[in-house]
Amino acid sequence: MLGRQAKIITPTMLRRILNFVGGTPFTKRDRVIILLSVKAGLRACEIARLDWSMVLDARGQVGAFVAVRDAIAKRRSGRRIPLHGDLRRALVRLKGPRRLASNLLIFLALPRGLEPLFSP
């Protein structure tokens, strides 16, 4: 059985999507999720399991690529993906200057606080 072809996101569509999430309480997080999918080509399960060590360099700054580890990749085929400028800027904004409270990159907002999207 053949898989379905992914839909193409035009620059106009991407702008509209990013503008839509611009007014949410979790704008920085939502923007990173969208850009990880569109600009880096990550799958939803990879985005949910991504942690900061996969995007930070040795100095603790957002690096030049995303290192998708075998453990979170489809068919255990990890890879290194260069960071698009828009995605890198969004990651820098999400991280901010503060020390990270968790290693997971993406958190889900629940009434009782922030929870990881994926629990190992």
- pLDDT tens profile 12-52: 999 999 999 988 778 999 999 999 999 999 998 899 889 89
Burial of 18 (0-12, 13-18, 19+ CB in 10 A): middle
pLDDT at res. 101: 61
Taking only the tens place, the pLDDT of each residue in 68-106 is: 998 888 888 889 999 999 999 999 999 887 666 667 777
Confidence of residue 120 (pLDDT cuts 50, 70, 90): very low
Burial of 120 (0-12, 13-18, 19+ CB in 10 A): exposed
pTM for the structure as a whole:
0.81
DSSP 115: E
Domains of the chain: 11-100 (1.10.443.10)
State the Cα–Cα distance between residues 88 and 85, nearest whole angstrom.
Answer: 5
